Amino acid sequence: MKYVTEFRNQELVEQYLSEIKKITTRHWKIMEVCGGQTHSLVKNGILNLLPKEVEMIHGPGCPVCVTPLNLIDKALYLALEKNVILCSFGDMLRVPGSEKSLLQAKAAGADIRILYSPLEAVNLAKANPDREVVFFAVGFETTAPANALSVIHAHKLGVENYSILTSHVLVPPAIEAVMNDEDSSIQAFLAAGHVCTIMGIDEYYPLVEKFNIPMVVTGFEPVDLLQGILMTVQQLENGEAKLENQYSRVVRPKGNPQAINVIEQVFQVNDREWRGIGNIPKSGYELKPEFHKYDANIKFDVNIKAAKESEECIAGLILKGIKKPFECPEFGKKCKPEFPLGAPMVSSEGACAAYYHFHQAMEDLEAVS
């Protein structure tokens, strides 16, 4: 198949649904790691079409959602107190910090700009040599190459008024953290296709072996997801645990070597705090020492005390797959996209936002829960 429409083909969708229903004999809990997969499952009504025995659990694969409160407060501090030009992707602006969001700070006069690429931020720094420009670098492995390239580009151009505030997180350690959680009941995973496009699939073999779980790398269209779910259920029903690649038209076993090389040139792995989850060892990227002059944390010696999350928000339980959005008492009440209590209601990849924007799917799920 060559075109996106082919991956939304109704006959194929019905065929895969029929096969899933035919082979399913037990209740299975499958976690889709990526927020983009969650969005597609909800938007396309797939959750309602699957047999009730196949339960999809929504994972922590939303980088905006897991960016810690403390880091948002650091970005606010740089914008409000250090008078930097703070740049980021649009989703980050509405995520609440401990007292306000970046969007509220922008409304109050802070110079905060929405960009589509960190390379734009480098050009902005070059055009404004009298101002410090900070790019809020958020994302999983997928966005790491572009952020790394921005540092390399700034270094080659001799642009020293550019830096990044890094909030990069990694998928495999997150899967391990989910499986190690004593409340976890996950039996299989749909791995994030976009991340594997960059990094390949080799780092998932140890997880499959360690936890004896099926894992299928899956795309984001309805046919992708249903084929991936079918492959996963087949393994579960047969008592198998192996790594399979449904998204082979995009994902190669070794990923993108050029992108990996850029990441490894600029970043090194570090422990990382995940909002609502806590510290996960070796689950993030930080700049290597030779690029510390582009590290906003070091350049501005940012030291912000950790703040408490809203006690009314159950984002951590949702990100770990223990609760569903509609199980939150404040979902759609006190917590809405316009005034969110937590990040999953803000991001386009957040599970709460997906459920909120597609009301019928949410209502159907609540009716059968």
Residue 196 predicted with pLDDT over 90: yes
Counted residue by residue, the chain has a size of: 369
Query: Does residue 368 have a pLDDT over 70?
Result: no
What pLDDT digit, counting tens, does each position of 211-252 carry?
999 999 999 999 999 999 999 999 999 999 999 999 999 999
Which two tokens mark 79? 């914008």
Question: What's the rounded Cα separation, in Å, for the pair 63 and 68?
Answer: 10
Amino acid at 161: N
CB atoms within 10 A of CB 134: 27
Q: Are 268 and 189 contained in the same domain?
A: no
Question: Would you state the pLDDT for residue 64?
Answer: 87
Name residue, tokens 């734009």: 120
Residue 262 to residues 142, 257, 315, Cα–Cα distance (Å): 12, 9, 33
DSSP single-letter state for residue 339: B
One domain, residues 101 and 214 = no
* 249-268 mean pLDDT: 97
Beta bridge partners of residue 250, listed in sequence order: none
Q: Which residues pair with 336 in a beta bridge?
A: 339
Any domain includes 41: yes
The single-letter code of the amino acid at 168 is: H
Q: Tell me: the pLDDT tens digits for 136-190?
A: 999 999 999 999 999 999 999 999 999 999 999 999 999 999 999 888 899 999 9
Q: From CA 276, how far away is CA 218, in angstroms rounded?
A: 26
Q: How many domains does the chain have?
A: 3
* Residues 64 and 349 sit within 8 Å (Cβ to Cβ): yes
Q: Is 27 left (phi over 0), alpha (psi -120 to 50) or beta?
A: beta
Confidence band (pLDDT; 50, 70, 90) for 47?
very high
Decide if 305 is inside a domain: no
CA 272 – CA 280 distance, rounded (Å): 6
pLDDT number for residue 2: 63
Higher pLDDT, 354 or 240: 240
- Do 279 and 324 lie in one domain? The reply is no
340: in domain: yes
Residue tagged 């198949």 (tokens): 1
How many whole angstroms from its chain centre is CA 330? Answer: 23
Looking at residue 268, what is its pLDDT?
Answer: 98
Tell me: do 294 and 164 sit in the same domain: yes
Signed CA dihedral, 192, 196, 197, 198: sign only: positive
- DSSP H helices, 110-247, are 118-127, 144-157, 171-180, 193-199, 205-211, 222-238
* Residue 314 tokens, joined: 């159950």
Residues 157, 102 within the same domain = yes
pTM higher than 0.75, yes or no? yes
Q: Is residue 362 part of a domain?
A: yes
pLDDT at 366 over 70: no
277-331 tens-digit pLDDT: 889 999 999 999 999 999 999 999 888 877 777 888 898 899 888 899 999 999 9
Please tell me the chain's helix, strand, coil percentages from 3-state DSSP, rounded to the nearest 5: 45, 20, 35
Q: Where in the sequence is the domain holding 221, given as residue range(s)?
A: 4-57+171-245
Res 362: pLDDT? 47
The per-residue pLDDT for range 71-115, each reduced to its tens digit, is: 999 999 999 999 999 999 888 888 888 889 999 999 999 999 999
Q: What is the CA 95 to chain-centroid distance, rounded? A: 14
Buried b (16+ CB within 10 A) or exposed e, 344-359: bbbbebbbbbbbbebe
| 348 and 285 part of one domain | no
